[in-house]
Chains A and B, each alone.
Chain A
Amino acid sequence: MLQTRDITKSFGGLRAVNAASIEVPGAAITAVIGPNGAGKTTLMNIISGFAVPDSGSVTLDGKAATGARPHQLCAMGLARTFQNLQMFSDMSVLEVVTTGRYRHQRASLLSNLLHLPSTRAEERAAVDNARDILRFLGVEESYWERRAGDLPYGVQRRTEIARALATEPKYLLLDEPAAGLNNQETADLGRVLRLIADSGVAVVLIEHDIDLVMDVSQRIFVLDAGTVIADGDPAAIRSNEAVIAAYFGGEE
């Protein structure tokens, strides 16, 4: 279980996140939605260690994770993707995903510097693992040796998810993974998200594409002006008065 409790974060006079509490169970898809500026990405950055909250706490499987640095959270089983792609552009797709194996490569510094057999074996294993993940996510093999920065947006998105999965996370945070994808790619993404959740990973989905969210999520938290105004399953959220007023702008 990933939990945040009363997270508050202000930038200058603006309270971006206000006493937000969410909880994410394992092996399911939990969505965080809300209008622009609702504080979703700030909350995400706090959970993943890229920002420190003014108050409140984050716990991962009962362990305190507030203020831990990103690489420490990675070791605790948290991985994420970024709203504006953070791609290792000059690497090949395979190298990008192999980089995700970093924390599982435990050969010593000396072994790496001297390229000892332990390092070589570990490198082969890391590359094999990266191949498996790319296959699992349906990234076509013809892309694997290509420079990641040159590839279509949808492929880069999936490469980014593959890189995160390569760390073997228990919790996978996806910050607007459907942004910039066409309808076909979004449908593919939905299938991929279900596959990931079915494999036992807790997926946290921050997304604007409401159809995708309603389609794949088991539970949804709605943020408005930094505050959680509702949570529940898709049906409950769809009929929630406060959500309709805040999020759908009273149009429905």
Chain B
Amino acid sequence: MSPATDRILTILLLLLLPVLSLSTGNTFYKSMLVFGIINAIAAIGLCMMLGFAGQISLGQSAFFGLGAYGAAVIANRTGIEPVLAIFAGALIAMAAGWLISRPLSRLHDHYLAMATLAFGIILYILFANVRSLTGGLDPGINIGRLTLFGLDLSSTASFFWAAWVMLLLTVFIATNVSSSKLGRSLLAMKMAPLAAASVGIDTLRAKAFVFAIGALFTGLAGGLYAYYARSFNASAFGIGYAIELLMMVVIGSLNRVSGAIVGAFIITVLPVLFDQFEDYKTLIFGITMVLIMKYMPSGLVDAVFSLFGRLRRRVVG
């Protein structure tokens, strides 16, 4: 998929969401849209790390959790504007991403996957056990309603708009990164790190940047999740969620924002379409991921696009 196709597809997707939300009165469908958007924001964070910069992370659930707990704890203890609490949670996740990038900077591929997985597990254990702060698995933690200047946005219909605006913001920044020198420097580091360094790119800084911004968006999604769920416990931030995020990015398109959005909605909706999906989730995800990585290394949506491109060339030419 070319950057231009990506941009058009992204805009269409972003416009489609309000149409879908307005065209259904069913709260359940609307809540699927909200969860889809939250997942899309988190997946874009991972897409920037894995797709833009080749830095795999199996610990995104930790950033999601830091964003959620960060927002909840700060909101509960200080009573600041909920939106500010969400941003504060995202900043905490960002700081964590930036901090772990240095010790991880010498690791590649499956070593990086293992290390980030370990990070995810450690944070999960912390979320579950530092109960004075997080409430652990039981009783968990509660958070107030999402409001903006006194306006109550906690109903699913209005929460949709809050989440949608956050998605716009995320897409705007992610697209700017990919179309600027920042995106080129990440791509350069992914494809030929020695050459990237030789044209003046500080690869340690580039990695720190992408870990920070990837964690920021996944943390932002975590903050939104906290306000939407309003009551949650550590089980939401297990490694399972990190794997789901990876699935979203891999199913969509490894290095395109539109792919992350499509992937997020597919993974969000699948369990609803198929009753028994939960039981076979791990098996299905595992097999799908292996097949996609083997036969469509740039992602499913990307593969479909290049197939269409080839067909069209054959018909025209």
**Residues in B33-81 with C-beta less than 8 Å from chain A:** none
List CB contacts (< 8 Å) of B148-203 with chain A.
173, 176-177, 179-182, 184-185, 187-188, 191-192, 194-203
Are A48 and B198 in contact, with the CB atoms below 8 A? yes
Inter-chain contact B197/A70, CB cutoff 8 Å: yes
Contact with A86, one of B173, B181, B192 (Cβ below 8 angstroms):
B192
B195 nearest in chain A by CB position: A86
Q: Known contacts A112-B182, A126-B181: does B198 contact A87 (CB below 8 Å)?
A: no
Q: Contact flags (1/0) for A109-125 with B, using CB distance below 8 Å?
A: 10011110001001100
Inter-chain contact A103/B192, CB cutoff 8 Å: no
Known: A50-B194, A87-B191, A113-B176. A99 touches B182 (CB 8 A): no
Using CB atoms, name the residue of chain B closest to A88. Answer: B191
Count how many chain B residues have C-beta atoms less than 8 Å from C-beta atoms of the other chain.
23
Chain B residues, Cβ within 8 Å of A119: 180
Which segment, of A19-27, A90-98, A179-187, faces chain B? A90-98
Known: A88-B187, A88-B191, A114-B176. A100 touches B181 (CB 8 A): no
Interchain CB contact under 8 A, A112 and B185: no
Is A166 at the interface (CB under 8 A from chain B)? yes
CB atoms of B184 and A112 under 8 A apart: no
Q: A251 vs B191: C-alpha distance in the bound complex, in angstroms? A: 43
* A contact residues around B184 at 8 Å (CB): 91, 95, 98-99, 102
Q: Once the chains bind, are B179 and A163 in contact (CB under 8 Å)?
A: no
Q: Which of B177, B188, B200 contacts A74 (CB 8 A)?
A: B200
Contact (Cβ within 8 A) B197 A69: yes
A123 CA / B199 CA spacing, docked (Å): 16
Known: A71-B202, A80-B198, A100-B199. A87 touches B181 (CB 8 A): no
Instruction: Report how far A100 CA is from B201 CA in the complex, Å.
Output: 9
Are B176 and A99 closer than 8 Å at their CB atoms?
Answer: no
* A75 on the B face (CB < 8 A): yes
CB distance from A54 to the nearest CB of B (A): 21
Q: Report yes or no: A164 in contact with B187, Cβ–Cβ below 8 A.
A: no
Contact call B180/A123, Cβ cutoff below 8 A: yes
Shortest CB distance A133–B (Å): 13
A203: interface (CB < 8 Å): no
A82 at the B interface (CB under 8 A): yes
A167 within 8 A of B: yes
**A160 vs B200: C-alpha distance when bound (angstroms):** 14
| A105 adjacent to chain B (CB < 8 Å) | yes
Task: Across the interface, name the chain A residue whose C-beta is closest to B199.
Answer: A100
Give bound CA distance, A75 to B201, whole Å: 10
Q: Which residues from B are CB-within-8-Å of A126?
A: 181
Is there an interface contact between A82 and B202, defined as CB atoms closer than 8 Å? no
Q: Does A218 contact B (CB under 8 A)?
A: no
**For B198, what are the chain A residues with a Cβ–Cβ distance below 8 Å?**
48, 70-71, 74, 79-80, 82, 86, 164
In the complex, the answer to whether A113 meets B177 with C-beta atoms within 8 Å is yes
Residues from chain B with Cβ under 8 Å of A75 in the complex: 200
Q: Which residue of A lies closest to B213 (CB)?
A: A113
Contact of A102 among B173, B176, B179, B185 (CB under 8 A): B185
Chain A residue with Cβ nearest B174: A113
Q: How far is the CB of B182 from chain A (nearest CB, A)?
A: 5
Residues in B neighbouring A69, C-beta threshold 8 A: 197, 202
Q: List 25 A-B contacts (CB under 8 A).
A: A69-B202, A70-B197, A71-B197, A71-B200, A74-B199, A75-B200, A79-B198, A86-B195, A87-B191, A87-B195, A91-B187, A91-B188, A95-B184, A99-B181, A99-B196, A109-B182, A112-B181, A113-B182, A114-B173, A114-B176, A115-B179, A115-B180, A123-B179, A123-B180, A167-B199
Please give me the 7 A-B residue pairs with the lowest Cβ-Cβ distance, nearest first. A103-B200, A86-B195, A74-B200, A70-B197, A86-B192, A115-B176, A112-B180
For the complex with contacts A71-B197, A88-B191, 6 further pairs of A-B residues with Cβ separation under 8 Å are A82-B195, A88-B192, A95-B184, A99-B187, A102-B199, A109-B182
